[in-house]
Amino acid sequence: MGAVADDPAAEFHAFFEEHYAELARLARMLTGDVDGADDLAADALLALWHRWDRVRAAEYPVAYARGVVANTARSRIRSAVRERRRITLFWSSRSEQVEDPDVPAVIDVQEALRKLPFRKRACVVLRHAFDLSERDTANALGVSVGTVKSQTSKGMAQLQRQLGPDAGLVRIPATAAEPEGRTA
């Protein structure tokens, strides 16, 4: 351990090896994008490397890393929404647009999570899929514990409404973002 602590590059490499898979899973669950999640996690870790002195001095470096992933995911989601709006405006101005309803026959947990606003989704995913405490979730998102409690409660209620009364207690597995981990 002493040799790793003396070498920031080795220390970061160890951090990367230990936490990359978890951060990629978090990115998948926050964005719903299986293919882009690895890139998002890699970009977040690159940002962490550039601030490694600050990260390694943090009381909870993993919470700091989760926060970077959450913020990076939020930025990507906002960019995607803006791009979709631009495309929609472009095509609606060029021709009569026929809207296809996007109503799936069965709403699974992954689809229901995508419908939650970002903060609710992040709180629900970190609390229930990653089993983080309210305090750890608050640290990762840079919000108060009270905000985590209210957003998690509201998010779970919204999921329950989306999934229907037959869904029972909503359980969000850490693999919900993976195709083979789908639940109904």
pLDDT at res. 89? 62
Encode the chain (184 residues) as per-residue pLDDT tens digits: 445 567 889 999 999 999 999 999 999 999 888 888 999 999 999 999 999 999 988 889 999 999 999 999 988 888 777 777 666 665 555 444 445 433 332 346 777 888 899 999 999 989 988 888 999 999 889 999 999 999 999 999 998 888 776 554 445 554 454 434 434 3
Q: Which of 154, 135, 152 is nearest to 144 (CA)?
A: 135
Surface-to-core class of residue 58, CB atoms within 10 Å of its CB (0-12 exposed, 13-18 middle, 19+ buried): middle
pTM of the model: 0.54
pLDDT at res. 76? 83
151 close to 121: Cβ distance less than 8 angstroms: no
CA distances from 72 to 51, 76, 120 (A): 15, 6, 16
DSSP state of 98: P
pLDDT at res. 179? 39
pLDDT at res. 88? 62
Domains with residue ranges and CATH for the chain: 1-99 (1.10.1740), 104-184 (1.10.10.10)
128 close to 93: Cβ distance less than 8 angstroms: no
pLDDT at res. 172? 56
pLDDT at res. 26? 93
